[in-house]
Structure 1
Amino acid sequence: LVLSCFGRSPPLMIAGGRVFVLPCIQQIQRITLNTLTLNVKSDKVYTRHGVPISVTGIAQVKIQGQNKEMLATACQMFMGKSEGEIANIALETLEGHQRAIIAHLTVEEIYQDRKKFSEQVFKVASSDLVNMGIGVVSYTLKDVHDDQDYLHSLGKARTAQVQKDARIGEAQYKRDAVIREAHAMQEKVSAQYKNEIEMAKAQRDYELKKAAYDVEVNTKKAESEMAYQLQVAKTKQRIEEEKMQVKVVERSQQILLQEQEITRREMELEATVKKGPWWTCCWRSCPWSVHFSDL
């Protein structure tokens, strides 16, 4: 609502509210704040490479009633105009920007990257419509087509390329699978040979260590046997020496006993001679009596 009267400047603007109007003194005018849906069509616009295409976009626009500056601008631009007239002005502005952007892009860029195209139209149109007090709520690319089957041919070429890439990819996958299988087999054989070599090395090390251990054991055993034999020999020698000493002692004892016995007999004989009869002198004078006494 825009309320104006004689002597009041600027007019009072009320967005979505109520106001008391004095008839014949005050004047009330209305401007729509509804969201307008626009079907933006651009037919047979030449792209950057000279291919004519038709593009349809859907835009949502509205006068920004919450922004006083934009609302004032919109009132100046569209006061007294109907909702359809306002929508048509916004539509022509959007369609012009849509055509300009189409002319700067290729068919492939528009068709394959719709989001980028929509963002460009939204950005350029918003900066222009804001000067009219209109804000672009959204813009979406709805349809792209041509009358020369360019997109169809592009799709067929793309399909063929995709099929070609698929065949190439399948062939490469099979090739890679064969290569991977060969590598796996090679690694398996290498691992097997490596394992066998490691086992052979381990067996060799075991045999060498076992041989060294056997040599050491046999050496220790021989040394132990020799030490035992030496000890036995020493023991036997010591026993023999002790036996000899015993024999020497026994012999010495025997000699001592014999000497004592001889001494005793001599003493007995002397006693007998001193006390015996007359023939004792004859006995002592006999030559063989000396030999008898030596016994």
Structure 2
Amino acid sequence: DCFFPCPYGSQVILIVFCFFHSSGFSIVLCVCVYVCAWFALTNLSLFSLFPHRISLNTLTLNVKSDKVYTRHGVPISVTGIAQMKIQGQNKQMLAAACQMFLGKSENEIAHIALETLEGHQRAIIAHLTVEEIYKDRKKFSEQVFKVASSDLVNMGISVVSYTLKDVHDDQDYLHSLGKARTAQVQKDARIGEAKNKRDAVIREANAIQEKVSAQYMNEIEMAKAQRDYELKKAVYDIEVFTKKAESEMAYQLQVAKTKQQIEEEKMQVMVVERSQQIMLQEQEITRKEKELEAKVKKPADAERYRLEKLAEAERLQLIMEAEAEAESIKMRGEAEAYAVEARGRAEAEQMAKKAEAFQNYKEGAMVDMLLEKLPLMAEEISKPLSAANKVTMVSSGGSEIGAAKLTGEVLDIMTRLPETIEKLTGVSISQVKTVFQTICLFKC
């Protein structure tokens, strides 16, 4: 709700309803309720409804500033193209736009925005030079856009874009800027042409002067000769011929000297060139020798030294490893020999005692050995059963079943062993008691 004071002492209550359409328009319905003091006194009230629309379309403005004086006092005309619109997405800017432009047509809104933008454009032109505006149009456009945006946003209008379209003047100032470089080039060309013409004229004048001087001298000589023609004709003729001959000889001599000097200079140049070539060849030879030494000799020496050291270290390592291996083999051999010798002595002593016992107690010793092996025999008999994963026992009903039958099978095999032993050795297990007593008496 926006409230505005009424000049007649009343109060205007403005209620704004915004409806957005898919075509881009925003329909703003404003309901204005006027409460006037005069109707309040007479207990009367008037409610009036005024529907209004405000366009949210983009406005294209042609901003012209004619004959604006720049910083250096040069009048120029500038034309810019600005795109702007009333911002409908921002509630604060929309409310400000309603306050400023509600009830105004699109042309009136465009005129207000154009006047504001044109004022900022003129102000910025006044702070810049013609060169700055003409050469850096982007900078000028950015300044106008920045200043105008900050001012128009308070009216609810946002500047979408601003582009400088045209810059011209009535004094041909911009045209003169383009001619400056051309004029400079033309001036240099004219100066060069004038210098060449001047030199040609000077040389021509010198030639004419020499010609005139020679002509005057000849006329003087001719006058003298005419005056003394009769008296000195022969002398002057001799002198003329002599001077001509000397002049010709001097000319030829000078030509010969010049040619000789040229030949000498050529020889000097050839000598210097040859000396420089020899020096360059010597430097190239020195460079190649140093390059050969740096790239081939020194790396080869370093590689040879490295290989020698590696071979020496490998040889020492092999010697030390061989010596250590020999010492280890020697000590291991001595230990094994001592162990074999001790084991041999023990086994020999044991065998001797066993032989003596067997000699004295043949049957008893044999029974003793058999008794020692009985547990091993029982273990070997039952070992196949321990490796079985599954045992299936079949009974006819007249014998034991389960684990008793399994152990009974093992015991049955064990009870048959004495008969087998007696058949193999001739010794009866029943004599074990007597034999044990005899062995015990013997050991005691």
Residue among 71, 93, 97 paired with 1:74:
97
Instruction: Determine what percentage of the aligned residue pairs are the same residue.
Output: 75
* Structure 2 contact 69–126 (Cα < 8 Å) conserved: yes
Count of matched residue positions in the alignment of Structure 1 and Structure 2: 174
Instruction: Say which structure, 1 or 2, has more relative contact order (CA 8 Å, 6+ apart).
Output: 1
Q: Residue 16 of structure 2 corresponds to which residue in structure 1? A: 11
Residue among 94, 106, 117 paired with 1:83:
106
* Structure 2 contact 17–29 (Cα < 8 Å) conserved: no
1:11 aligned partner, one-letter code:
V
Distance (whole Å) between structure 1 residues aligned to residue 140 and residue 78 of structure 2:
11
Matches within 5 A, 1:110-125: 110-125=133-148
Shift of 1:11: 2.2
Q: Residue 65 of structure 1 corresponds to which residue in structure 2? A: 88
Cα–Cα, structure 1 residues 21 and 98, in superposed 2: closer, same or farther, change >3 Å? closer
Q: Residue 195 of structure 1 corresponds to which residue in structure 2? A: 284
Residue among 18, 33, 51 paired with 2:56:
33
Where 1:33 maps in the other structure, the secondary structure is: coil
Where 1:48 maps in the other structure, the secondary structure is: coil
Shift of 1:140: 0.3
Residue among 118, 131, 140 paired with 2:154:
131
- Kindly provide the CA deviation profile for residues 36-75 of structure 1, in whole angstroms up to 9, marking residues without a partner as x: 0000000000000000000000000100011111111101
Distance (whole Å) between structure 2 residues aligned to residue 97 and residue 19 of structure 1:
30
User: What value does the CA root-mean-square deviation take over the aligned residues?
Assistant: 3.5
Cα–Cα, structure 1 residues 15 and 149, in superposed 2: closer, same or farther, change >3 Å? same
Cα–Cα, structure 1 residues 160 and 197, in superposed 2: closer, same or farther, change >3 Å? farther
Distance (whole Å) between structure 1 residues aligned to residue 149 and residue 133 of structure 2:
20
Cα–Cα, structure 1 residues 160 and 192, in superposed 2: closer, same or farther, change >3 Å? farther
Shift of 1:14: 3.0
Distance (whole Å) between structure 2 residues aligned to residue 115 and residue 75 of structure 1:
33
Report the TM-score when normalising by structure 2: 0.35
Q: Which runs of 5+ in 2 are unaligned?
A: 1-11, 32-46, 188-275, 292-444
- Kindly provide the CA deviation profile for residues 224-268 of structure 1, in whole angstroms up to 9, marking residues without a partner as x: xxxxxxxxxxxxxxxxxxxxxxxxxxxxxxxxxxxxxxxxxxxxx
Where 2:158 maps in the other structure, the secondary structure is: strand
Cα–Cα, structure 1 residues 110 and 11, in superposed 2: closer, same or farther, change >3 Å? same
Q: Residue 326 of structure 2 corresponds to which residue in structure 1? A: none
Shift of 1:158: 4.1
1:107 aligned partner, one-letter code:
V
Matches within 5 A, 1:1-295: 10-16=15-21, 26-159=49-182, 192-198=281-287
1:14 aligned partner, one-letter code:
F
* Structure 1 contact 45–52 (Cα < 8 Å) conserved: yes
Distance (whole Å) between structure 1 residues aligned to residue 183 and residue 177 of structure 2:
10
Distance (whole Å) between structure 1 residues aligned to residue 20 and residue 185 of structure 2:
56
Q: Which runs of 5+ in 1 are unaligned?
A: 1-6, 165-187, 203-295
Distance (whole Å) between structure 2 residues aligned to residue 197 and residue 52 of structure 1:
74
Report the TM-score when normalising by structure 1: 0.52
